[in-house]
Each structure stands twice: as structure tokens, then as C-alpha cells.
Amino acid sequence: MDVIRLLPDSVANQIAAGEVIQRPASCLKELVENSLDAGAHTIRVLVRDAGKSLIQVIDDGAGMSVSDARMAFERHATSKIRDAQDLFRLRTMGFRGEALPSICAVAQVKMTTRRANDEVGTLLEINGSQVQKQEPCQCPVGTSIQVQNLFFNVPARRRFLKSDQTELRNLITTFQHVALVYPEVSFTFVSDDEIVYDLPVGTCKQRIESIFGKSKSKLYTSQLLEIEQQTELVTIRGFVGKPEAANKQAQQFFFVNGRYMRHPYFHKAVLQAYAGMLPAEQLPPYFIYFDIAPEQIDVNVHPTKTEIKFADEQSIFPILMATVRAALGKFNVVPSIDFLGGDIEMPVSDERMRANAKLPELHVSSGYNPFTTQRDTHSAQRESFPLRKEQVIPHWQDLYEPLRQQPQQAEQAPDPLPGASHPQAVAGGYIACTTDAGLALVHARRAHITILYNELVAQLQNRHGASQQLLFPEQLAVSADEQPVLEALLPDLKHAGFELEQAEARHYDITAIPSVLGNHNAEAALRAILTRAADGQTAVREQMQQQIALTLAQSAAIPMGKALSETEMQNILNRLFALQSYRITPDGKTVVVWLSAEEIARRF
Ligand code: ADP
Ligand code: MG
């Protein structure tokens, strides 16, 4: 007797549902993607009890004919591909024809749908794959699908669901992933009658702000830098956070061809672009959209997987890193004005930039007011205008190395800032000074870090770090893991002024240290450098030097809150404002806060 028989569809669907529909969020994803595939302009999402009792998606898309409405719930029924070849030309979100049959196998589904040219629509009710009702109905153009009591007939699955709080968070994350890709579609998300999101149509940047501008870790468009790169292989677009927008739980999103994806390897590329700019454990927010020929990626991995395989990841990695860097590099050389509250648009040409003279050009000749729109073009300081032509051309290498051709400027520093010659200490470690530009508040420790960093980078690049012999060598013991990292660092450490002699297998004597370290703990500084280097951010030589310079600067800088004499404060201000880029520390923290005359007037 033969024992093999075909499973009834309802059973097959329930099994498939286990793969496709794991939780309310996966159901929401499928429904919203269908609405987008149907060309909707407006999508409304309603959920109850974190989607456990209700998930409803209402769209104004194309709708379905009577027979399509019925067909949509059949297994492998899809309008989106016809043959296997189409699989490699995918531009729609769905294609498997699995979602609706899976959902209706494990829930109570009610759908109404109507096409624009049809007088009446169709109502369809299906409970656990059993069609309960199909009849004509009055309904708006588009489709509304209600999914009630998910897993009502699969108690094990229902029990497996997490708390409402967790499931709601999953729903919201899923919603965000889609909403971030379709700023041209308006979305609402209502949970238990409470409006969580009401997102109008707008630009991509506006969409990001309408989603995250009110969240706990607020993110504003002024904190984002635009990136754009087109190559034959891939187009990369989107936004990355300025270093100062970094935080412990930054919003980080990759999308490819309109789909959210996770990509740990590309994530590394982005982080490498920020090397040396971020404080420990702080992550930059990013929203990066890849566009690539569909045959270059494989989305067919798994319906619920967000990892996507690229055919040529190795080639995309450096493109991505350079793109992010270019944006950061531009930012680094363009001081934008904090108190204006917004960005100065990146000027495209040198001429435009000169016309746009609202830059706090504080190291030019005294009497110069950076807040008037006229610029003294005959200024003798013209050459030191920080936005030199070669720094605005779109070669990121040039953009990112503003310090390389810039020898120390401190010695030939111009006059102190107009009116800045009477610095005042402000409790807590700040220095206040008045300038023609208004009131400046300087964070003394960060200013010192920035100054030392710039000096050290210059020394490292010229290979003449000032060194100081130790009377009594200090000891450094390294682990087996650390040793190769240390060996790789040795040449640069030497340029920085360290001298290390290997005493035993994994023990070194520190016989000389960079003079900048003075009486500070040399071993601790070396350890910090090792830790940073071991984080894998040192693939590039330049970065290695920057890491060393930053760590040494942080070790040697005055501590926060240290009392300073007037001479010391004046010294810091002179050296700081002589720098090309003094507005933020190398790891992206604010050094100077300005209060313009207008701002002061406004406050009274
Ligand atoms: P897939 O999206 O992979 O094609 P689904 O099971 O999600 O498979 O949907 C089956 C079909 O039902 C789709 O191909 C589409 O033709 C139709 N459909 C589903 N949802 C909608 C909708 N909101 N508006 C119009 N048509 C829809
Ligand atoms: Mg679908």
C-alpha cells in the first residue's frame, strides 16, 4: 500500500506560516510590503494588544478584482513574477506568494478591496484557511486587511510570543524599516488608539527627523551629513551622523534596493570611516541606501532574514568607507556655527564659499568681523583661510587630511582674538572670552586635547616626536594577543617619542616617552593605545597615527575643572584659535560654544 500523500493545503500553509509568520511584526511587514507593491500613497496601520488581537493595514493602492482577491490567498499565487528568470530582476518587495496564505492559515482574516474602476468591492473572510464569506461590498479604493487573533489555532506559537512591550517594539521597528525607505508615501501607525507615528510625505531627511526627532535619543537633520556616491557597481546615498551625534544606541540602518538589511561587514566600513573621531563606545547614527543591479544581490535567502548577500562585497567596502569619509572630511574643515542652530550648506565652489562669509574666522587680522557679509579680500591672512581650494575638491583623501600639509601654526599665530585678551575662568573648567563675534565659551580640557592632537599628528607625520628619556624605565607587559598589535605599532610609537626595549618574551622596558606626557603614566597611555589599535581600526597607517595622537592627547591634556592662571588660559586660546579646525575635538565633541550679539540680544 502506498503511504505517501499530498498534504491538504491548509496544513501545508500552516507549516509555511511557521517560516514566514513568526510574530505580529512579520505579519505587519508582509502586509505593508503588499500595500507598497500595490502602489499605495497612504498606508495606515492599526494594531491592538501589540498585534496579538489585531493588525490592520489599510492602503489606497491598486486593489484587487473579485477573482484576484480569492487567488491572493492561494499558495504560491503572486502577480509579481511569472518565471524563474524574474527572480533575478526583482524590484518588488514580495514575490513568493506565500504571505497571505500563511497569514490566513494562522489567523482570522477579513479583507475588503476595490479597484478604482470597479463599482463595488469584494469582502472576504477566512479563518484558519477556511473561507467563511466572500461577497460584494461597498468600500474605498484600495485594500484593507484585518488580521485578528494571530495564532488562535496554534497555541504553542501564541505562547511563544513575547510580552506586549517587546512585540510592540518589534512592530515599530519593522514599521520604521519600511517608512524610512518610502518618504513619498504617507504612513500612520496607531497602537491601541494611540497615534505612534503620523508621517507626512517629505524628503528622506525629513522622514528621518519625523521618525526620530521625538524619540529618546533625539536626532535632528542638522546632525546629519549627506552622502552620495555613484559608481558602475553601486549607488550609495543617505545620511551619516556628525561625530557629535554619536551615542551609545545610535540609529543605524542599511537598505538595499528599498529593503532594510543587516550587514555587519559594511557596518565595519562605516565605523572605519569614523576612526579616531568617536569617543569609546559611541556609535554614529547612519541611514545608508544602496542601489545595485538586482542580480548583484541574493534576497532569496530566507523570508525573514535581513542579512543580504552581495556578489561583490569586497569592492563595495572601500567605496562605502571613502564615501562616508568624504562627508566627514568636508565637515571637519568647514566650521559651521553652533549658535545659528543649523548647518551652513556645503558650498560647491570656492567662490561661493568666499561669498558665504558667515564663518567664525577668528584667527584673521584683528577688527575683522566674521558676521558681516563682507570679507576683506585683501587681508594679509588670506592664505590661512581654512577653506583652501584644494580642500573642497571632491577627493576625500585631500579632504580628510587637512592637517597633513599644515605644519604647526601656533608659533606664527596671529594676534589674539579681538577682545579675547582677558579670558575669564568659568567654574567647572570653561574659559569665557568676548570677541567681535560675540561671547565664546571654551571647554578647556577639550581645547587642550585638540591642540595637543594637532601638534602630535604633525610630529608623527614629520617623524620627530619630542622625546624624553626616563631615568628609571617603566615596564610594559603584553598578552600574546597584544604583542603583534604592539609590534605593528612600534614604528609609529617611536615617531611619537616612545622608546621600547624588549626585555623578555612579552615584557618591554619603556626607556623614553613623548615629552608631551610629562609626568603622566606612560604605561597607561600605551595600554590605551593598544586597546584602541586592537579594536581593528588601524588598517590604515594614517589612522594608526591618529589613534596614537588622540590617545596621547587625552592622556596628557589638563583634567576637566583644573584651575588655570590667566596666562595659561590665554595660551590655550591663542593656540586653539590658531588651528584650522578648532570647533570640535578629533573625537567629535564640542570645544567652543558661541553666543552671538544677536543671540545675546534675543535672550533679553
Ligand atoms: P507576494 O507579495 O509574494 O506576491 P502575497 O501572498 O503577499 O504574495 O500576495 C499575493 C498577491 O496578492 C500579490 O501578488 C498581489 O497580487 C495581491 N495583493 C496582496 N496584497 C495586496 C494589496 N494590499 N493590494 C493589492 N494587491 C494585493
Ligand atoms: Mg507579499
Ligand 1: centre distance to CA 294 (Å): 21
Ligand 1: centre distance to CA 34 (Å): 5
Ligand 1: centre distance to CA 79 (Å): 7
The SS3 call for residue 240 is: strand
Predicted confidence band of residue 600 (pLDDT cuts 50, 70, 90): confident
Least Cα distance to 413 among 367, 449, 459, 381 occurs for 381
- For residue 437, what is its C-alpha cell? 563675534
The SS3 call for residue 106 is: coil
Q: What pLDDT score does 132 carry?
A: 95
Verify whether ligand 1 is closer than 6 Å to residue 303 (CB atom): no
Q: What pLDDT score does 91 carry?
A: 56
Distance of CA 383 to the CA centre of its chain: 35
Helical (H) or strand (E) element with 143: strand 142-148
Predicted confidence (pLDDT) per residue in 184-200, tens digit = 999 999 999 999 999 99
Q: What pLDDT score does 314 carry?
A: 87
Q: Which atom of ligand 1 is nearest to the CA of 77?
A: 10
Mean pLDDT on 31-35: 95
Q: Which amino acid is at 175?
A: F
Q: What pLDDT score does 520 carry?
A: 81
Helical spans, DSSP H, in 303-393? 313-333, 350-355, 389-392
Q: What pLDDT score does 48 carry?
A: 97
Report the nearest-CA residue for atom 7 of ligand 1.
99
Predicted confidence (pLDDT) per residue in 414-433, tens digit = 333 444 667 888 878 899 98
Predicted confidence (pLDDT) per residue in 377-390, tens digit = 333 333 333 332 33
Verify whether ligand 1 is closer than 6 Å to residue 112 (CB atom): no
Q: What pLDDT score does 53 carry?
A: 97
Q: Which atom of ligand 1 is nearest to the CA of 143?
A: 23
Instruction: Please spell the DSSP secondary structure of 508-540, one letter per residue.
Output: EEEEEEEGGGTTS-HHHHHHHHHHHHHTT--SS
**Ligand 1 pocket mutation, candidates 9, 34, 82, criterion most atoms within 8 A of CB:** 34
Q: Above 60 in pLDDT, residue 393?
A: no
Q: Above 90 in pLDDT, residue 277?
A: no
Q: What pLDDT score does 44 carry?
A: 98
* Residue 44, strand partner residues: 58, 188
What is the chain's mean pLDDT, rounded? 79
Verify whether ligand 1 is closer than 6 Å to residue 59 (CB atom): yes
Verify whether ligand 1 is closer than 6 Å to residue 552 (CB atom): no
Q: What pLDDT score does 141 carry?
A: 97
CA distance 183 to 185: 5
Highest averaged pLDDT of the listed ranges 141-145, 520-524, 563-567: 141-145
Highest averaged pLDDT of the listed ranges 217-226, 234-243, 275-284, 483-492: 234-243
CA distance 602 to 604: 5
Q: What pLDDT score does 585 carry?
A: 85
Share of the chain above pLDDT 70, in %: 75
Q: Above 80 in pLDDT, residue 410?
A: no
HSE-CB at 325 with a 13 A cutoff on CA atoms is: 22
Between 535 and 131, where is the model more confident?
131
Least Cα distance to 478 among 487, 467, 469 occurs for 487
**Ligand 1 pocket mutation, candidates 100, 103, 104, 304, criterion most atoms within 8 A of CB:** 100
Q: Which of 59-63, 99-103, 403-407, 556-560 has the lowest mean pLDDT?
A: 403-407
Q: Above 90 in pLDDT, residue 290?
A: yes
Predicted confidence band of residue 79 (pLDDT cuts 50, 70, 90): low
Q: What pLDDT score does 439 carry?
A: 83
Between 517 and 353, where is the model more confident?
517
Report the nearest-CA residue for atom 2 of ligand 1.
94
Q: Above 60 in pLDDT, residue 533?
A: yes
Predicted confidence (pLDDT) per residue in 149-174, tens digit = 999 998 888 988 999 999 999 999 99
* Residue 109, strand partner residues: 126, 147
Predicted confidence band of residue 351 (pLDDT cuts 50, 70, 90): very low
Q: Above 50 in pLDDT, residue 121?
A: yes
- For residue 60, what is its C-alpha cell? 489606497
Q: What pLDDT score does 288 carry?
A: 98
Between 147 and 519, where is the model more confident?
147
Q: What pLDDT score does 355 carry?
A: 37
Ligand 2: centre distance to CA 407 (Å): 60
Between 453 and 338, where is the model more confident?
453
Helical spans, DSSP H, in 368-505? 389-392, 396-400, 444-462, 482-496
Verify whether ligand 1 is closer than 6 Å to residue 34 (CB atom): yes
Ligand 1: centre distance to CA 262 (Å): 25
Q: Above 60 in pLDDT, residue 375?
A: no
Predicted confidence band of residue 96 (pLDDT cuts 50, 70, 90): low
Mean pLDDT on 341-362: 34
Verify whether ligand 1 is closer than 6 Å to residue 64 (CB atom): yes
Q: Which atom of ligand 1 is nearest to the CA of 61?
A: 24
- For residue 446, what is its C-alpha cell? 577639550
Ligand 2: centre distance to CA 28 (Å): 11
Report the nearest-CA residue for atom 13 of ligand 1.
78
